């Protein structure tokens, strides 16, 4: 008989604990919502940065009718920024047309974020002999 009582006992407190936690969670959140919407939003801000922190930026100059460096290797998620340093308009256009810039004047920039691994050849459509390649490799 003692074993029956022993089995029955743990169930009751467990249910009580569960509903008490639910009540505690609600009462704990209520003041935050009421007093400070920022306190509720901040956990989201804490969750987002790791993805952004992993993102890197690489720069490529367009000068003297060439992409410099002509060849770079980056990790997925890297934002590549091209800057036209020439007096002549150039474009940055993927060989597979997956991205393309408008005509870039002196000082103009174009950026593309490479998310997938692979080798991406690009060129200037005005001067197709101007080519470059971005290797995207997982670290």
Interface residue with Cu ion, options 78, 82, 90, 114 (CB under 5 A):
90
- Toward Cu ion, which CB reaches closer, 59 or 88? 88
Question: Cα(118)–Cα(129) distance, rounded to whole angstroms?
Answer: 22
Strand order in the sheet with 131-136: 71-74, 131-136, 118-123, 93-94
Q: Is 66 in the site for Cu ion (CB under 5 A)?
A: no
Cβ neighbours, 10 Å, residue 67: 22
Q: Is 112 in the site for Cu ion (CB under 5 A)?
A: no
Beta bridge partners of 12: none
Shortest reach from residue 93's CB to Cu ion, in Å:
10
Q: Is 126 in the site for Cu ion (CB under 5 A)?
A: yes
Q: Is 63 in the site for Cu ion (CB under 5 A)?
A: no
Question: Cα(128)–Cα(113) distance, rounded to whole angstroms?
Answer: 22
Return the DSSP state at 86: S
- Toward Cu ion, which CB reaches closer, 72 or 126? 126
Interface residue with Cu ion, options 124, 132, 134, 136 (CB under 5 A):
124
Shortest reach from residue 124's CB to Cu ion, in Å:
3
- Toward Cu ion, which CB reaches closer, 59 or 125? 125
**φ/ψ (deg, to 5) at 92:** -120, 105
Interface residue with Cu ion, options 59, 113, 127, 133 (CB under 5 A):
127
Task: Give the dihedral sign, CA 102/106/107/113.
Answer: positive
Q: Which residues bind Cu ion (CB under 5 A)?
A: 90, 124, 126-127, 130
């Amino acid at each position: 008989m003692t074993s029956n009582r022993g089995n029955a006992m743990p169930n009751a407190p467990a249910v009580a604990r569960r509903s008490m936690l639910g009540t505690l969670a609600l009462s704990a959140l209520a003041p935050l919502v009421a007093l400070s919407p920022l306190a509720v939003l901040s956990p989201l801000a804490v969750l987002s940065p790791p993805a952004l922190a992993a993102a890197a930026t690489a720069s490529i100059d367009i000068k003297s009718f060439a992409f410099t460096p002509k060849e770079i290797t980056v990790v997925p998620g890297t934002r590549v920024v091209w800057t036209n340093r020439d007096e002549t308009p150039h474009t940055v256009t993927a060989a597979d047309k997956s991205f393309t810039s408008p005509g870039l004047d002196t000082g103009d920039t174009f950026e593309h974020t490479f998310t997938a691994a692979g080798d991406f050849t690009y060129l200037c459509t005005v001067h197709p002999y101007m080519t470059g390649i971005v290797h995207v490799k997982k670290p």
